[in-house]
Copies of this chain bind each other. A is one copy, B any other.
Amino acid sequence: MSAAPSSELLSKLFGAPAAEGCLGDRARLQGMLDFEAALARAEARVGLIPAQAAQSIGRQCRAELFDLAQLADGTEKAGNTAIPLVSALTSLVGADDPGAGRFVHFGATSQDAMDSGLVLQLREYDGHLSADIERLCKALALLARTHKESVLPGRTWLQQASPVSFGLKAAGWLDAMQRHAARLSEWRARALVLQFGGASGTLASLGNRGLEVAEALSRELDLALPALPWHAHRDRIAELAAVLGLLAGTLGKMGRDISLLMQTEVAEAFEPAGEGRGTSSAMPHKRNPVAAAVALAAATRVPGLVATLLAGMVQEHERGLGGWHAEWETLPELASIVAGSLHHMAEATEGLEIDAAQMRANLAAKGGVALAEAATAVLAPRLGRPQAHEIVGRASRRALETRKTLLETLASGPAVTAHVSRADLAAALEPGAYLGMAAAFIDRVLAAHDEEER
């Protein structure tokens, strides 16, 4: 039984299928083993070790052959996971092909296996994550398109302000997600590279063949060869953390917005209910924002984890003491949480239920005073801005006190009706008429999305 306080119980709530298979212990082992197998093949290719040895090594490079508990014991002693793994691998290979054992891990250091293995894991993770980003973008684009005219209160400082459309909200979310996709792609080009440096980063134990082996190895793994080994420079790793942090922030904002819209008193949008999802038999009126809670929890946890990976960058000389170790559990955790947030938010977005009638009702609820700016706009050309401003201000306050509408209140005074007809006033106070450039903004975002899709 594991001593680790990790939670299988919570893995489905906070995690995602995307993170399964590429972030756990088995994947960690397989990443290192894929490195070892490829190293042997590369060294065989350049003639440093026998081809048969490479084959013998490759045969044992399967994570399921290794005993986690035993490797955990070895890790405690050695201070990293590669030392006991290489030792166990060497035994397996040697048992199968006595002459091949000594070619295992030839010329490499623990960190080469660990870092390159990690990069392989991250390549797979990136694929899954990108697919989920695309899925979310598609759902958001549909919402933006569909709800271009679903008018609802804009809300600033949590107070109703001039109206917006729900499509504009969705377009704002989409626009941000597109930037995250771009960031991930820039990271990909910079970070999916080989780590191979030997004991101190010079590949000295390979004599003058180091670069040749490195090139062959990078071809075997289909990873770019960086200018030099990067074992003690963790910016590529921390950059992924940062990109995930930014992504989690936007997902958290979506979760916050959706959960606020789902409030009993607002009730404008709802996560899909599914079978028993977020519902309460005791309180059948409740529709708990579960996906929003997941996204908000992630947005709460992620900044601290990103900070850890930034803090861990300060690594000593040719191999860090503590800073490197701090990455080993933090990065997979971070990656898993963000994948989970994205997965649950994509699902929620695809099934999001919108109550456009309630949106309009909320806008009307306080006598429509959220349209005060619109009223001022229609009066200003006739009365001058300052006077229009003052009249609307007074009317708004009176409307709130008397529980009448702003329209009614304005239309009841000759100061206004002498200049604008009630019908014109009513038209101006129609929320859907006061959306400004909302539709144009939505179209600009959708154009970028369609471009991307093509």
A329: chain B residues at CB < 8 Å are 5-7, 10, 14, 301, 333
How many whole Å from A219's CB to the nearest CB in chain B?
17
Which residues of A from 1 to 50 have beta carbons under 8 Å from B?
1-17, 19-20, 23-26, 28-29
Residues in B whose Cβ lies below 8 Å from that of A81: 9-10
Residues of B near A300 (CB, < 8 A) are 308, 311-312, 322-323, 325-326
Contact B211 A234 (CB under 8 A): no
B25–A7 touching, CB < 8 Å? yes
B162 touches A317 (CB 8 A): no
Q: Are B316 and A301 in contact (CB under 8 A)?
A: no
A116 at the binding interface (Cβ < 8 Å): no
Q: Contact between A318 and B164 (Cβ–Cβ < 8 Å)?
A: yes
Interface residue ranges of A399-454 to B (CB < 8 Å): 400, 434-438, 440-442, 444-445, 448
- Does A207 count as interface, using CB distance less than 8 angstroms? yes
Alpha-carbon distance between A351 and B359 when the two chains are bound, in angstroms:
32
A392 to chain B, nearest CB (A): 8
Other-chain contact of A234, B12, B182, B249 (Cβ < 8 Å): B249
Taking a contact as CB atoms under 8 Å apart, the answer to whether A316 and B72 are in contact is no
- Min Cβ gap A218→B in Å is 13
Which of chain B's residues have a CB closer than 8 A to the CB of A117? none
State the copy count for this chain. 4
Chain B nearest CB from A43 CB (Å) reads: 13
Q: Is the CB of A79 within 8 A of B232?
A: no
CB within 8 Å for A156 and B15 given contacts A246-B242, A307-B306: no
Taken residue by residue from 332 to 372, chain A's Cβ proximity to chain B (1 for < 8 Å, 0 otherwise) reads as 11011000000000000000000000000010011001101
Q: How far is the CB of A402 from chain B (nearest CB, A)?
A: 13
CB closest chain-B residue, reference A210: B437
A142 within 8 A of B: no
* Complex CA distance for A311 and B205, rounded to whole angstroms: 38
Of A51-59, A131-139, A256-264, the one contacting chain B is: A256-264
Q: Report if A172-B11 is in contact (Cβ < 8 Å); known contacts: A282-B372, A299-B311, A304-B307.
A: no
A81 to B319, CA, bound (A): 34
Question: Would you give the shortest CB distance from A170 to chain B, in whole angstroms?
Answer: 11
In the assembly, what is the distance between CA of A170 and CA of B281, in Å?
30
1/0 per position for A71-88, CB-CB distance to B under 8 A?
A: 111011111010000000
Segment 177-192 of A: residues with Cβ below 8 Å from B: 179-180, 182-183, 186, 190
Could you write out 24 A-B pairs with CB less than 8 Å apart?
A: A1-B24, A3-B15, A6-B329, A7-B24, A8-B72, A9-B68, A9-B81, A13-B76, A14-B328, A14-B329, A78-B276, A158-B316, A159-B285, A175-B230, A180-B235, A203-B436, A204-B373, A238-B249, A263-B263, A264-B366, A265-B362, A283-B370, A294-B325, A297-B326
Query: What are the nearest 10 A-B pairs in CB distance?
Result: A6-B6, A296-B322, A154-B200, A249-B313, A204-B436, A304-B304, A156-B319, A202-B436, A5-B332, A242-B242
